Amino acid sequence: MKRGNSVNLTVGSYVAAIDMGSNSFHLLIAQVQSNGWCAVYTEERRVQLAAGADQGSLQSDARDRALLCLQDYKEVLARYRIAELHVVATASLRGVGNALPFLSAVENLLGVLPSIISGEREAELVYLGVSTKLLGKADTSSQQHCLVIDIGGGSTELAWGFAHRMVKGVSVGVGCLHYLRYFPDGELREEHFNAARDAATVIFKQALHRFPAAFWESSPRVVGCSGTLLAVEQVLLAQPKNPSSTGIYLQQLQALVDSLFSFNTVDDVRYPGLTEDRRSIFASGVAIVMALFEALNISSMQLSQRGLREGIIENRLADGGLTFQQGGQQQ
């Protein structure tokens, strides 16, 4: 994402955001309205850009999958008169030694140089994307404290604040794709699951110690977002004995954990409500969710469909927000 002078957006303008995550790529096309914006197109694609990148290098097959996905996104963007295109990368490319050639290839394809945003900046944008929907855009004086959690493929962001302002944001290297390393050869054993959960719990507790005392005194509303948490919710909702209430509840989550050990490998995992592209990372994702419940000592978690890409749009349209250079497909 290039920095520079932004275009003047008017009602009817189209703005697009692409989030190149460690596991999934997301495309959001929004149209500016007099009272904000509305989504006109959304798509999520499993790419697993960070697969095999544990040694600090982007793998060639992951690069090829990413560029193929972005080529498809380019064709979608060409259907609209896109005024601005914003492309961001997160933990997928942080610290990756050979990221620059890939970023150049993306710039050649889309006309915009992606920005590798910091974990704290990611947390801030995720918080903005979730809070503006949760509290309402006009509610800028709310004293309702929220802790927004985003579990990705390579990292987890914890963002605490009130109204639409993040007070403290932390990003840790806990992600459902990276945590497959706790399941050697894909074997789904209880001891492997417990090792992943315990490792994540320690990291989350250490991260929470970095929050100010006011965080613990605020009793924040805990809101989760991301494909990992939404996948867990969908599986729980599909269970015949569970009530049809949305969100994640500890008792149901524990029952789900117990049932996981009936599968031999992570690729064998199958549940009603679980999509094909989430099967292999579902067990590691559940371990991370369980770790969050333990570290936060909570019994339930509300979920939001929004996240980073919505935060990028909200930030662009907010008064005094960051500006981004014009780019992408225009007609």
What CATH number has the domain bearing residue 279? 3.30.420.150
Residue 222 lies in a domain: yes
Closest by CA position to 313, among listed 40, 164, 128, 141: 128
- Are residues 304 and 238 part of one domain? yes
- Tell me what the pLDDT averaged over the chain comes to: 89
Q: Contact, 146 vs 98, CB < 8 A?
A: no
- Are residues 250 and 146 part of one domain? yes
Residue 36 lies in a domain: yes
Which residues does 93 contact at the CB level (< 8 Å), separation at least 6? 20, 49, 58, 99, 102, 103, 114, 116
Q: What average pLDDT does range 83-93 have in this prediction?
A: 93
- Are residues 150 and 240 part of one domain? yes
Question: Using one digit for the tens of pLDDT, what is the confidence trace for 134-167?
Answer: 766 545 555 678 999 999 999 999 999 988 889 9
Residue 323 lies in a domain: no
Residue 327 lies in a domain: no
Of the candidate ranges 123-132, 133-142, 253-262, the one whose mean pLDDT is the lowest: 133-142
- Are residues 37 and 90 part of one domain? yes
Q: Contact, 65 vs 49, CB < 8 A?
A: yes
Of the candidate ranges 20-24, 197-201, 244-248, the one whose mean pLDDT is the lowest: 244-248
What CATH number has the domain bearing residue 88? 3.30.420.40
Residue 5 lies in a domain: no
* Terminal alpha carbon distance of the chain: 20
Per-residue model confidence (pLDDT) at position 137: 56
- Are residues 25 and 141 part of one domain? no
Provide the 8-state DSSP code for 93: T
Per-residue model confidence (pLDDT) at position 133: 82
Residue 2 lies in a domain: no
Rg (CA), the chain: 19
Beta bridge partners of 172: 156
Helices (H), 111-179: 119-134
Residue 44 lies in a domain: yes
Question: Using one digit for the tens of pLDDT, what is the confidence trace for 198-245?
Answer: 999 999 999 999 999 989 888 889 999 989 999 999 999 998 877 767
Question: Using one digit for the tens of pLDDT, what is the confidence trace for 276-313?
Answer: 999 999 999 999 999 999 999 999 999 999 999 999 99
SS3 content of the chain, % helix, strand, coil (to 5): 40, 20, 35
- Are residues 105 and 126 part of one domain? no
- Are residues 163 and 110 part of one domain? no
Tokens of 184: 């050697």
- Are residues 214 and 128 part of one domain? yes
Residue with tokens 């050649």: 108
Per-residue model confidence (pLDDT) at position 321: 38
Of the candidate ranges 52-66, 94-108, 114-128, 287-301, the one whose mean pLDDT is the lowest: 52-66
- The secondary element (H helix, E strand) that includes residue 12 is none
Closest by CA position to 151, among listed 251, 223, 235: 223
DSSP 173-229: S--TTGGGGGSGGGB--HHHHHHHHHHHHHHHHHHHTTS-HHHHHH-PEEEEESHHH
pTM of the prediction? 0.89
Domain that holds residue 23: 14-118+311-317
Residue 9 lies in a domain: no
Produce one character per residue of 171-180: b if its CB has 16 or more CB atoms within 10 Å, e if not.
Answer: bbebbbbbbb
Per-residue model confidence (pLDDT) at position 136: 63
In angstroms, rounded to a whole number, what is the distance separating the alpha carbons of residues 246 and 237?
Answer: 7
Q: Contact, 164 vs 128, CB < 8 A?
A: yes
Beta bridge partners of 37: 32
- Are residues 181 and 144 part of one domain? yes
- ∠ at Cα 116 (79, 92), nearest 5°? 90
- Are residues 170 and 80 part of one domain? no
Number of domains forming the structure of the chain = 2
